[in-house]
Structure 1
Amino acid sequence: MNQKGFLVSLKEYLHENKWFYLISLLFLFTGIVIGIYVILYMGDTYKQDISSYFLNFADQFNSIDINKEKILLGGLKSNLIMIGAIIILGIIIVGVPIIFIINIIKGFTIGFSTGVIINSMGLKGGLVILASIVPQNLLYVSAIIITSVFSCEMALNRLKSRLNKNSYGNKQCLSNYIPLCICIGVMLILGAIIEAYFIPTILKYII
């Protein structure tokens, strides 16, 4: 397929699944808001304890021996588990609502982390967020959203196939599976590399 044909196919795919993308993003942003809300409105004692723990970690950050390989493997493992769960839930059809719950959970972790940093460091926390949360999560979140939409599409096609008693929809959906896996794999690897090898170095100049 030439570049023009690929772009046309991509445009059609995005148009056909725009509602799945919108719903997935809605649940993700809902999770982010909930995560920030939990930090902002929790009791002062808990808030101070979390801030103290984070600031203590930040003060010792430059002297900590960072195991980059462990961070790399940890980033890959946690996100692969999440993406694997989303794919399985799409296969069993009735798991689609849980896919959106996973989107909320991912958003919550981002929102909670953002809330902790802002609450602990104020305006300086904005730089820390841009350096430590945004870069890898642009890739992680993109991978999760793409997988969520694919799994929802797969579940819908499987449901249609059962109702119409044919397997064309399944075969058509599965034909996109290999390039999808490659795309997601590249995103996860790049995100983990950024998280493990670039972010710690950048943070040392900010904190």
Structure 2
Amino acid sequence: MSNRKTVIDLSEHFQRNFWLYIISLFCIFTGIVLGIYTVKYMGANEKGELISYFTSFTKNIMQSDLKYKNVFYDVLKNNIPLIFAMWFLGLTMVGIPVILVIDVIKGFTIGFSISFVINGLGTKGLGMVLLGILPQNLIYIPCVLVSSVIAMEFSLDILRDKMNNKRLNSIWIKITSYSIIFIFITVIMGLGFIFETYITPNLVKLILK
């Protein structure tokens, strides 16, 4: 019975926020396209410097023993602030434009990485994209998408309540529920953190060999 209720709640949530999902998804894909075209139209010198840096980075991966603790810290540093920013912006009534900008930036990062790696490494780059970039982002992108929609929905609810002069007696209950959802999303992203920390570097080593 509870499983059926969960499915119904998720279905209602999606129907209620259909256009928010479309807008957020559009922003992410816009960012991906911008990232791809940024690499395509970079100058030869800039591209050369980046490829040189990337080559030295891959050599370091091949030559040294990885410190997984440092890798895990970097992964958290790259992702947790993004989720925290989404959560915080959802508590405001003016955070929606910034949330959409974050969606574009996340898409840009993915598009730039994919395009740059393929440009820099050719066939090996395609392997790195398929095994080193896409797997964790198949977890991250849905999490970012859902986070941005939930944050925008919460922000709009606060705005509607204020415009209708509704009492915000239950605001702390709403914030608690809202925060629990974000904690749950972060836990799901944790699967991506683990993959990116412990599996991705070894896959990259395998491809480069």
Q: Given the alignment of the two structures, is residue 192 of structure 1 paired with residue 193 of structure 2, yes or no?
A: yes
Distance 1:25 1:172 in 2: 29
Q: CA deviation at 1:149?
A: 0.5
Q: What's the counterpart of residue 204 of structure 2?
A: 203
1:161–1:168 Cα contact (<8 Å) kept: no
Q: Given the alignment of the two structures, is residue 134 of structure 1 paired with residue 138 of structure 2, yes or no?
A: no
- Look up the SS of the partner of 1:133 in the other structure: helix
Q: Which amino acid aligns with 2:190?
A: I
Give CA-to-partner distance per residue, 1:13-69, whole Å, 9 cap, x none: 111111111111111111111111111111111112212222233244321221111
Q: CA deviation at 1:73?
A: 2.1
- Look up the SS of the partner of 1:165 in the other structure: coil
Q: Which moved more, 1:77-86 or 1:13-22?
A: 77-86
Q: What's the counterpart of residue 34 of structure 1?
A: 34
1:161–1:170 Cα contact (<8 Å) kept: no
Unaligned ranges ≥5, structure 1: none
- Look up the SS of the partner of 2:65 in the other structure: coil
Give CA-to-partner distance per residue, 1:60-94, whole Å, 9 cap, x none: 43212211111112212321111111121121111
What is the CA RMSD across the aligned residues, in angstroms?
2.0
- Look up the SS of the partner of 2:94 in the other structure: coil
Distance 2:203 2:2 in 1: 39
Q: CA deviation at 1:182?
A: 3.6
Taking only the aligned residue pairs, the percentage that are identical comes to 37
Q: Which amino acid aligns with 1:62?
A: M
Q: CA deviation at 1:178?
A: 4.9
Q: CA deviation at 1:170?
A: 5.2
Distance 1:179 1:44 in 2: 48
Q: Which moved more, 1:95-104 or 1:174-183?
A: 174-183
> Which aligned pairs between 1:8-87 and structure 2 lie closer than 5 A?
8-87=8-87
Output the TM-score relative to the length of structure 2: 0.91
Output the TM-score relative to the length of structure 1: 0.91
Distance 1:72 1:59 in 2: 20
2:87–2:182 Cα contact (<8 Å) kept: no
Q: What's the counterpart of residue 88 of structure 1?
A: 88
Unaligned ranges ≥5, structure 2: none
Give CA-to-partner distance per residue, 1:126-153, whole Å, 9 cap, x none: 1101111111112222222111111100
- Look up the SS of the partner of 1:113 in the other structure: helix
Q: CA deviation at 1:156?
A: 0.7
Q: CA deviation at 1:124?
A: 2.5
Q: Which amino acid aligns with 2:128?
A: V
Distance 1:154 1:164 in 2: 15
Q: What's the counterpart of residue 150 of structure 1?
A: 150
2:87–2:179 Cα contact (<8 Å) kept: no
Distance 2:44 2:188 in 1: 38
2:17–2:149 Cα contact (<8 Å) kept: yes
1:158–1:169 Cα contact (<8 Å) kept: no
Q: Which amino acid aligns with 1:184?
A: I
Q: What's the counterpart of residue 124 of structure 1?
A: 124
1:128–1:206 Cα contact (<8 Å) kept: yes
Distance 1:181 1:42 in 2: 37
